[in-house]
């Protein structure tokens, strides 16, 4: 009976990983929506990690991890931009953070595929040896990818930007100081996390659904060993998986791109389906335009929680942010981040704000007014899917 209970908990966590740990490919089911996110036709092939087998650095399902690499040129040959994909944006192979942006156009560009289920924090000694074939090797994958890229020339980098969206943005925050330590001391190294400032917030029924989920993930993968030792010494390790506690121990400059009404968080943190059994929130969950005044008040409270969680972040002069009031999730791997239809805050696009921050042109802490004030937003409409 004990084994059955353990297996049930294990299966529950895995289901959570596959369904929740940041899947949103269904966004592109609508031709109208797909047209908005038109991709550059210059795809970059997948490179499987050459030393993965030797280092036993396997993905969750035992397959080999990989990345897409495009050589920099000219003045960008010793500069690197790396992007860790989110939980399910694999359909956009070869698409990277700065593919068409003026500031990073000729840099070495790497897209690291996400395949471990715990933001590259898993450790193999937590694997269950009871007939299952799941591998918790996220930390090994991270180290192997870094070593391979260092051998490809990243060890001589003069400038670098590590970025990621959703689960990839969480991985970016967790490993930001590590990549700083691996690169030359004279190099300018910064990090960008997109749509990944996940809140430790109660859902509409007063339950801390995400806190329980994170506890399952951290315990299942043995992720505590990859988290900040200072944080883990002070609190329950799973709490150190929340960005508001991660950033407290970070030393490398960080930029946040985050919608105040992140649809993933609204649909899974604030209003998970299990908490909306009468489906009173269903129309609001699918389209923010459908929220009534009471529901909008709740969403405004969620926005306030985000801004409050960024209190210390705002005080750090080296850190930047672009918090817009859109009902969307990841924004940096879409054409909209640097295109003419990019959302703007204080007349600046996301790409312009990131450039201002990375190259120290000006302080770049831009926070939007509350919904529905920003006409430049593209707000997702899942009711049409």
Instruction: Give the integer Cα–Cα distance in Å for 111 and 96.
Output: 6
Q: Which of 194, 262, 356, 368 is catalytic?
A: 262
Quick check: is 163 catalytic? no
Contacts (Cβ under 8 Å, ≥6 apart) of 151: none
- Nearest Cα neighbor of 343 from 260, 254, 244 is 260
Here the tokens at position 236 are 């329950």
- Show the DSSP H helices in the chain as ranges: 2-20, 31-36, 52-55, 138-151, 167-182, 209-221, 229-234, 243-246, 263-265, 282-286, 293-309, 311-315, 350-358
Strand, helix or coil at 176?
A: helix
Sheet containing 66-70: give its strands across.
46-48, 66-70, 108-112, 79-84, 159-165, 188-194, 254-259, 320-324, 365-367
Quick check: is 304 catalytic? no
Return the number of other C-beta atoms located less than 10 Å from residue 208's C-beta. 14
Residue whose structure tokens are 């595929």: 113
Q: Which of 118, 119, 163, 166 is catalytic?
A: 166
Q: Which of 68, 92, 329, 338 is catalytic?
A: 329
Here the tokens at position 249 are 């121990």
- Show the DSSP H helices in 310-382 as ranges: 311-315, 350-358
Quick check: is 329 catalytic? yes
**Which sequence positions are flagged as catalytic?**
166, 262, 329
């Amino acid at each position: 009976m004990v084994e059955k209970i353990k297996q049930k908990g294990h299966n529950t966590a895995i289901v959570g990983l596959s369904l929740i740990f940041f899947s949103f490919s269904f966004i592109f089911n609508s031709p109208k929506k797909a047209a908005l996110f038109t991709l550059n036709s210059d795809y970059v092939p997948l490179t499987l990690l050459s030393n993965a087998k030797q280092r036993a650095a396997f993905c969750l399902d035992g397959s080999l991890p990989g990345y897409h690499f495009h050589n920099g040129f000219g003045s960008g040959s010793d500069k690197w931009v790396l992007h860790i994909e989110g939980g399910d944006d694999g359909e956009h192979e070869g698409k990277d953070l700065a593919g068409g942006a003026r500031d990073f156009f000729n840099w070495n560009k790497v897209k690291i595929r996400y395949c471990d289920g715990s933001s590259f924090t898993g450790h193999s000694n937590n694997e269950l040896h009871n007939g299952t074939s799941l591998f918790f090797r996220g930390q090994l994958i991270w180290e192997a990818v870094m070593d391979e890229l260092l051998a490809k020339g990243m060890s001589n980098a003069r400038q670098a930007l590590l970025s990621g969206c959703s689960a990839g943005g969480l991985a970016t925050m967790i490993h930001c100081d590590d990549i700083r330590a691996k690169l030359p001391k004279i190099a300018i190294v910064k990090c960008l996390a997109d749509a990944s400032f996940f809140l430790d917030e109660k859902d509409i029924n007063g339950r801390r659904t995400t806190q329980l989920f994170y506890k399952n993930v951290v315990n299942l993968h043995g992720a505590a060993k990859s988290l900040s030792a200072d944080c883990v010494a002070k609190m329950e390790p799973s709490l150190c998986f929340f960005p508001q506690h991660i950033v407290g121990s970070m030393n490398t400059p960080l930029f946040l791109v985050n919608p105040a009404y992140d649809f993933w968080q609204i649909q899974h943190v604030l209003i998970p389906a299990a908490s909306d059994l009468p489906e009173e929130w269903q129309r609001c969950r699918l389209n923010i335009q459908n929220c009534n005044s009471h529901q909008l008040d709740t969403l405004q409270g969620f926005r306030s929680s985000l801004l409050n969680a960024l209190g210390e972040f705002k005080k750090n002069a080296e850190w930047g942010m672009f918090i817009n009031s859109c009902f969307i999730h990841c924004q940096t791997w879409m054409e909209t981040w640097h295109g003419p239809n990019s959302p703007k805050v204080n007349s600046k696009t996301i790409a312009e704000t990131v450039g201002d921050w990375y190259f120290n042109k000006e302080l770049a802490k831009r926070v939007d007014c509350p919904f529905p004030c920003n006409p430049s937003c593209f707000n997702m409409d899942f009711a049409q899917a």
